[in-house]
Amino acid sequence: MPIPLDNFDSRDIQIKPVLEFRSRYERRIDADFQPDRGDNRSNLLLRGRVGLQLSKDGLTGRVV
């Protein structure tokens, strides 16, 4: 019984590094839409991710 990875050649796969940054600004005037509990706050949220993009024969996958 052959194992599917017997004929695997790692040179067939193209690997590219991925570096992604995202930011989001949120503004909130009152907590839970209740006018008597105003909190008047704003947030700047940042996120960074590092990963790899793999492709072979027209198929592409990303690991982050």
Residue 44 neighbours by CB under 8 Å, 6+ apart: 23, 24, 25
pLDDT, tens only, 22-49: 999 998 776 666 667 667 788 999 999 9
pLDDT, tens only, 2-11: 566 666 666 7
Reported pTM: 0.52
Q: What is the pLDDT of residue 44?
A: 95
Q: Regarding predicted confidence, which is higher, 51 or 39? A: 51
Q: Is 7 helix (H, G, I), strand (E, B) or coil?
A: helix
Contact present, 2 and 26 (Cβ < 8 Å): no
Angle at 42 between CA 40 and CA 43, to 5 degrees: 150
Residue 1 predicted with pLDDT over 60: no
Q: Regarding predicted confidence, which is higher, 5 or 50? A: 50
